[in-house]
Amino acid sequence: MKYNFFKSHNFMNRELSWLSFNDRIIKLVKDPSQPLLERANFLSITQNNLDEWYEVRVASLIHDIQSGSNEEDPSGLTAAEQLKVVRKAVKSQLKEQYKVYTKSLLPDLNKYDINIVNYVDLNNKQLIDIKKQVIKIYKQGLIDISIIKKDEGWPKLASKTINIIATTSIDNTFGNIQISENAPQLLRVTSSNLFVRTVDAIRENAQLLFKKLEVVEKAFEYRIIRDAYMPDLPVNSSDVIADEKNLLASRSFAEIIHLSINKNTPNFLKNKLSELLYVNPNNIFKVQGPLDFSFVSELKVSLLKNKKIDVSSLQYVPREPHHFKELENKNIFDNIEKHDYLLHHPYDSFDPVVNFFQAAANDKKVSEIWLSLYRASKKSPIIDALKLAAKKGKKVNALIEIKARFDEENNLKIVNELRSAGVNVSTSFADYKVHSKMAMVVRNEKKYVHLSTGNYNEKSAHFYTDFGIFTSNIDITNDISNIFNYVITQKNQPKTLKQIQMAPTMIRPRLTKEIKRLTDLAQAGSTPEIWIKVNSLSDKKLIDELYIASNSGVHIHLLVRGIATAKVDSNRLGKNIQIHSIVGRLLEHSRIYLFKEDNQHFNVYISSADVMPRNYDRRVELLIPVLNKDNKQKLYDLFNKMWHDRAQTFAKKKSGKYIKRSVKDPKVLPIQEALLIEAEQKQGGE
């Protein structure tokens, strides 16, 4: 993308930084070192990322503009200025999506005789087959047909669904087809590797579907995105669940903030859609090619069903994780009592985490189970274990964060499920989220805890990297007990804790203290280092502290997957700051904060918190010290390996752009693949 990343010389705009992250994923689509079907999946991911970002972040900018705000962000841009530059950047990114799809992905798929073609390019036999599939989709209720006459309201449209508007021979009468999100996005010609986009097939068969209309003249697809921004609830909210349900209900008919149409859509139809859907013309994007690239992710599923073609070489090699066998049986608590365990998922299996709850539910010596949950799978074995424990008469307390974005409905369902099973369920604070990931089991009056950087979701644990610690350390377990009492009752917020630091009151001061301590050491002539691995880095106050430390001689290594608004390689700011980003097979979700005095002395923390104002100031988060010497060294060595990776790492430059690091030896494996192989080769146990 061609735009100036920095208006202010101190900080990059957060939204442009995010778009830069999505650019890095787009680069993977044309990366020949990635398996072909995985490249297709990366294109789908860029679409999903862009949709969610637009629903929340762009929506937030629009809200700020509508409220009359002229406040500048750390990069020096007002909301109106940000929206202007963001629209320009989005147009550039949409063009790049289309370019890599047509110039890179499609030609490479064709080499393997995997073809996504236009409906009009099919022969008669193939057309008959696809037409039958369109009719089947219609009969399954996955296509919603509407005929709109003059002055009639437009049908209710779901966000992120593909629609087709049809002009007719009847004056001021239009047809609309809404394709359900549950409909397949690709139709496969029987017994072949020939695919047609569903919307393409439905559009070309519009006349068949509009039986009540004499003539359908032309049909064009369009796609909308609605505002999904969810404001904080009032502090004095008396019923958090009811208020959250009302917000969720309003999201389904919220303002349309993005309308995409094909370039060949006539201007009169563009204007008509703008009028009928109440869309600001500035929020209409004319694009070339597909309006939604998430369809390419269906290729892998469809091809795997076809036994006639071997696609194993076109996807990542499945890897078996390392198993801590001593944590996967009923003796898990006895083993945790012996020493702490540090797990790195998905390289280490998530099975011990599930077993932690299942063993607790079945162990007669266990009297209490406590859990703070942010996200979970739809059919979670952990939720089943809590229900079983309650049924067996154990005291089960669960804090369910119902405001977890886009998981609100699932979490509300979990609340009802657990309460029906006899679990004592609390929902979180009205004005901020409980984002900490913690669990505690009380067995024979002794406490055992599991603390994590990621969610209690066994599904996402297969492709999200996260750390988890099992411990029975008395200081940590007592800290967690105090934190649970606080979040469950929403009373008696701890002012101090012995080992754990908790946002919103403790994490920022602790990190600032660590940075200043190393800054003082550097000013005294030492060469200390700061190593931070997070998803996002945008907190102005902490970045300012890092700038000061950097200019004092502290060497700072920032491994940031997504947003990173700090500047690097500057004589005035960040001259000792480097920022790398690893994108690839696994989503880097783990967080490490490491403060190194020298090779023998360093403090290490894992955390649920990114370097963002919301994490430090408006959420309950945990900063967890790693006390075991071997585990501290393990994390430092791991960070070193990841930092020196060249095969899947991008480095941020002074301009704000990211450049893929060069690889001298093509046989060198990407760090994630190397770690997966290393884990697979380990034997069970430690």
434 Rama class: left (phi>0) / alpha (psi -120 to 50) / beta = beta
Measured CA angle at 379 (ends 375, 383), to 5 deg: 65
Topology classification of domain 1-111:
Methane Monooxygenase Hydroxylase; Chain G, domain 1 (1.20.58)
The two three-digit tokens of residue 667, written as one number? 């046989």
Mean pLDDT value across residues 261-285: 93
Q: Using CA atoms, how far apart are residues 433 and 377, in angstroms rounded to an integer?
A: 19
pTM: 0.94
Topology classification of domain 325-495:
Endonuclease; Chain A (3.30.870)
Question: What's the chain's average pLDDT?
Answer: 93
Residue 5, pLDDT > 50, answer no
Residue 685, pLDDT > 70, answer no
Paired strand residues for 397 = 370, 424
**In the chain, what are the domain boundaries?**
1-111, 114-315, 325-495, 502-681
Half-sphere exposure (Cβ direction) of 173: Cα atoms closer than 13 Å:
13
Mean pLDDT check: name the lowest of 227-236, 373-382, 529-538: 227-236
Mean pLDDT value across residues 256-260: 96
Banded model confidence at residue 107, pLDDT cuts 50, 70, 90: very high
Mean pLDDT value across residues 566-594: 91
Q: What is the pLDDT of residues 334-354, one digit of tens each?
A: 999 999 999 999 999 999 999
647 SS3 class: coil
Residue 46, pLDDT > 60, answer yes
Mean pLDDT value across residues 215-233: 90
Half-sphere exposure (Cβ direction) of 161: Cα atoms closer than 13 Å:
20
Paired strand residues for 506 = none
* CA quadruple 21, 160, 585, 353: dihedral sign: positive
Banded model confidence at residue 216, pLDDT cuts 50, 70, 90: confident
Mean pLDDT value across residues 494-523: 97
Mean pLDDT value across residues 577-587: 97
Q: Which CATH code for domain 502-681?
A: 3.30.870.10
Mean pLDDT value across residues 632-652: 96
113 Rama class: left (phi>0) / alpha (psi -120 to 50) / beta = left
Of all residues in the chain, what percent are helix, strand and coil, respectively (each to 5)?
40, 20, 35
Q: What is the pLDDT of residues 9-22, one digit of tens each?
A: 689 999 999 999 99
* CA quadruple 350, 354, 357, 360: dihedral sign: negative
Mean pLDDT value across residues 23-45: 96
Q: Using CA atoms, how far apart are residues 547 and 570, in angstroms rounded to an integer?
A: 10
Closest CA to 126 of 179, 186, 187, 177: 187
Banded model confidence at residue 150, pLDDT cuts 50, 70, 90: confident
Q: Using CA atoms, how far apart are residues 291 and 261, in angstroms rounded to an integer?
A: 7
Banded model confidence at residue 214, pLDDT cuts 50, 70, 90: low
Say what the pLDDT of residue 307 is: 66
What does the DSSP assignment read for 116-158?
Answer: EE-GGGS-HHHHHHHHHHHHHHHHTT-EEEEEE-TTPPPPP--
Side by side, the strands of the sheet bearing 186-188 are 115-117, 194-197, 186-188
Mean pLDDT value across residues 492-511: 97
Q: Using CA atoms, how far apart are residues 626 and 344, in angstroms rounded to an integer?
A: 13
Measured CA distances, 331 to 299, 369, 374, 514 (Å): 44, 17, 28, 38
The two three-digit tokens of residue 528, written as one number? 């200390």
Task: For the chain, state the CA radius of gyration.
Answer: 27
Which positions are catalytic?
Answer: 435
Say what the pLDDT of residue 154 is: 84
Q: Using CA atoms, how far apart are residues 342 and 473, in angstroms rounded to an integer?
A: 13
Say what the pLDDT of residue 444 is: 95
Say what the pLDDT of residue 655 is: 87
Say what the pLDDT of residue 443 is: 97
Q: What is the pLDDT of residues 301-316, one digit of tens each?
A: 888 777 667 788 999 9
Task: Characterize 106-142 residue by residue with b for buried, 16 or more Cβ atoms within 10 angstroms of its Cβ, and e for exposed.
Answer: bebbeeeebebbebeebeeebbebbbebbeebbeeeb
Q: Using CA atoms, how far apart are residues 466 and 348, in angstroms rounded to an integer?
A: 10
Topology classification of domain 114-315:
polyphosphate kinase like (3.30.1840)
Say what the pLDDT of residue 1 is: 43
Banded model confidence at residue 683, pLDDT cuts 50, 70, 90: low
Within this chain, domains 1-111 and 502-681 share the same CATH topology? no
Whether the bond between 528 and the residue before it is cis, its omega within 30 degrees of 0, is: no
- Exposed, middle or buried, 369 (CB in 10 Å: 0-12/13-18/19+)? buried
Q: What is the pLDDT of residues 77-92, one digit of tens each?
A: 999 999 999 999 999 9
| 615: enclosing H helix or E strand | helix 613-617
Q: Using CA atoms, how far apart are residues 392 and 394, in angstroms rounded to an integer?
A: 6
Q: Using CA atoms, how far apart are residues 266 and 276, in angstroms rounded to an integer?
A: 15
Residue 3, pLDDT > 50, answer no
Say what the pLDDT of residue 221 is: 96
